[in-house]
A and B are shown apart, each in its own frame.
Chain A
Amino acid sequence: GPHLNVLREAMGVMQHHDAVTGTEKQHVANDYSRMLHRAIEACGANTQIVLNQIVDPVQKKSYAKKQHHGVKRDFTFEFDTCHLLNISKCEMSETKDNFMVTLYNPLAHSGYQYVRLPVSGSKYVVKDYRGIETPSQMVPIPDSVQSLNYRFSNASYEIVFLANELPPLGFKSYYVSRVIESVDDFSKDSNPSVRVQADQPQPTGWH
């Protein structure tokens, strides 16, 4: 409630024609951005709380099972959002060798999404919850994006994969892990995307 109200209030202010069209003074435009960012962050945190509330019972059940087998593990996840994916920047995917990508489909019918995440490695494996490897591809980030003067990111490639069969109003997670082959695997290969074996299965037909 309280988190969503912050966003509701911000969106209330954004109904003003200035906010919609950009006819306000620059410092007012900056303040609108500040309000929206703060509100979205609050909801982001809220989403993480909501996600944990949803995912936790599932985890607790599996945790209980693991407990039974004597495995002591803490299975709570923090769910972060990356607001700068549009300029190919994301702290989590660039710095972690293993990370989980969870997608929420807001539509009332099953959907799919091509996921693009900036990374530092040169080869990754993407698996879904069934252990099935999802074809992925390494794509270079355009030089004009890499040179944006406030991007502050070292990633020069993105990993791209198709997340499909996303349940209506539901979640689906993928486990992404970096494959460390040799020490200088990245510098040696100027275009890691050629590493992707062509024989990997093509995605399914028209959705």
Chain B
Amino acid sequence: SEEVTIGNKYLNISFDSNGFLSSIVANGISSRLRQTFVYYEAALGDNKEFTNRSSGAYIFRPNGTEKFVAESVQLRVVKGNVVQEVHQVFNEWISQVVRVYADENHVEFEWLVGDIPIEDGIGKEVVSRCYSAAQSNGVFYTDSNGREMIKRTRNHRDTWDLHLEESIAGNYYPVTAKIALEDENLRLAVLTDRAQGGSSLEDGAVELMVHRRLLHDDAFGVEEALDERAFGKGLVARGKHYVVFGSKKTSNPTLQAKERFLQNQVLLPTWIFLSDTSKFKYEDWQ
């Protein structure tokens, strides 16, 4: 019922009484930072004309705006001297661990999504969304295959006068490693552990699509709905997002530099090998 705070010597994050992440103190600034999951219901059509396209493997086409998955979240808090974590349960098919390691300057979100329910016969496309106080003016940045950041502007194209038929999907871009937004003070970056679709549909907010389960083919490919299953149930997906947040003015090294180091570490992690040493005492092993 009361606010929960976890953190380390670099940053602290707080969760409100409903269990949602609500604020962050990091890199010299205290600010609003909220994260939740939403999903889009998939459009369903006969794929005859353009306006009747279904959402499918080749197409992201939501039917209406997002649906929120929970009004309140169950929490379990774990604190120790190596890592502090908050285990969140949003509903039966969405949970997440938000963790801060003692010596890291970012927040790690380990999301777990699935078995996405389809009893209502509707496909669903699940998104993790972060809201901040940055006045980003419709501008956000997505990476180009893990290298340069490309400037994106909501409802805009640089090379023609855009009339958007799809106000949501038309603003989605490929995110291979990072999506970011900023204003003159704040910068928010979310790094991914795999390629995802992402966007910023309102100032200060970024979103990444983490999982989807569709029930109807979009007639562009192999005539099969994107409804991946394992053991007869909808596939469960697990992955990580890494959030770097702070003031652009006081952060040293710059936030972008921190993001680049973190990206290297995330996408080229150490390889872990295990060996049985039951037969040896430590001294022998040493």
Q: Are A78 and B275 in contact (CB under 8 A)?
A: yes
Task: Check A23/B270 contact, CB under 8 A, given A196-B80, A204-B103.
Answer: no
Indicate with 1 or 0, residue by residue over B208-235, a CB within 8 angstroms of chain A CB atoms.
Answer: 0000000000001110101011110100
Residues of B within 8 A of A80 (CB): 273-275
State which of B30-38, B121-129, B261-269 sits at the interface with chain A.
Answer: B261-269
Q: Are B83 and A104 in contact (CB under 8 A)?
A: no
Q: Are B286 and A175 in contact (CB under 8 A)?
A: yes
Task: Check A81/B278 contact, CB under 8 A, given A100-B285, A142-B87, A142-B95.
Answer: no
* Complex partner residue of A106 from B224, B239, B271, CB under 8 angstroms: B271
Residues of A within 8 A of B112 (CB): 142, 144-145
Indicate with 1 or 0, residue by residue over A87-120, a CB within 8 angstroms of chain B CB atoms.
Answer: 1001011001111111111110001111101000
Indicate with 1 or 0, residue by residue over A110-134, a CB within 8 angstroms of chain B CB atoms.
Answer: 0111110100000000010101000
Task: Check A107/B264 contact, CB under 8 A, given A161-B82, A162-B101.
Answer: yes
Shortest CB-to-CB span from A136 to chain B, Å, is 6
Indicate with 1 or 0, residue by residue over B236-265, a CB within 8 angstroms of chain A CB atoms.
Answer: 101100000000000000000000000011
Nearest first, the 4 A-B pairs at minimum CB distance are: A137-B80, A144-B95, A77-B275, A137-B82
Chain A: CB-nearest residue to B284: A73
Which size class do A's interface residues fall under? 35 or more
Residues of B within 8 A of A90 (CB): 274
B102 on interface, CB distance cutoff 8 Å: yes
Residues of B within 8 A of A166 (CB): 270
The docked-state distance in angstroms from the alpha carbon of A127 to that of B284 is 13
A46 on interface, CB distance cutoff 8 Å: no
* Complex partner residue of B274 from A73, A75, A87, A93, CB under 8 angstroms: A93
Q: Are B82 and A160 in contact (CB under 8 A)?
A: yes
B58 on interface, CB distance cutoff 8 Å: yes
* Complex partner residue of A105 from B101, B229, B231, B270, CB under 8 angstroms: B270
The docked-state distance in angstroms from the alpha carbon of A113 to that of B221 is 41
Q: Are B87 and A160 in contact (CB under 8 A)?
A: no
For the residues of A in contact with B, the DSSP-based class is mixed
Shortest CB-to-CB span from B252 to chain A, Å, is 11
Within 8 A of B (CB), among A25-48: 25-26, 29, 47-48
Shortest CB-to-CB span from A102 to chain B, Å, is 4
Q: A23-B57, A102-B274, A135-B82 are in contact. List 19 more A-B contacts (CB 8 A).
A: A22-B57, A23-B220, A25-B222, A26-B228, A26-B229, A71-B284, A80-B275, A87-B238, A92-B274, A93-B274, A100-B274, A103-B271, A111-B270, A114-B82, A114-B104, A160-B83, A175-B286, A203-B82, A206-B10
Q: Are A25 and B230 in contact (CB under 8 A)?
A: no
Kindly name the residue among B230, B264, B286 whose own CB sees the greatest number of chain A CB atoms within 10 A: B286
Residues of A within 8 A of B105 (CB): 206
Name A residues whose Cβ lies closer than 8 Å to a Cβ of B.
21-26, 29, 47-48, 51, 71, 73, 75, 77-82, 85-87, 90, 92-93, 96-107, 111-115, 117, 127, 129, 131, 135-140, 142-145, 148-150, 160-164, 166, 175, 177, 191, 193-194, 196, 198, 200, 202-207
Q: Are B277 and A25 in contact (CB under 8 A)?
A: no
B282 on interface, CB distance cutoff 8 Å: yes
Residues of B within 8 A of A200 (CB): 81
Residues of B within 8 A of A47 (CB): 271, 273
Residues of A within 8 A of B119 (CB): none
Q: Are B282 and A177 in contact (CB under 8 A)?
A: yes
Kindly name the residue among B87, B89, B272 whose own CB sees the greatest number of chain A CB atoms within 10 A: B272
Shortest CB-to-CB span from B175 to chain A, Å, is 14
The docked-state distance in angstroms from the alpha carbon of A206 to that of B228 is 42
Q: Are A203 and B102 in contact (CB under 8 A)?
A: yes
B151 on interface, CB distance cutoff 8 Å: no
Residues of A within 8 A of B286 (CB): 129, 131, 175
Q: Are B272 and A82 in contact (CB under 8 A)?
A: yes
Q: Are B233 and A98 in contact (CB under 8 A)?
A: no
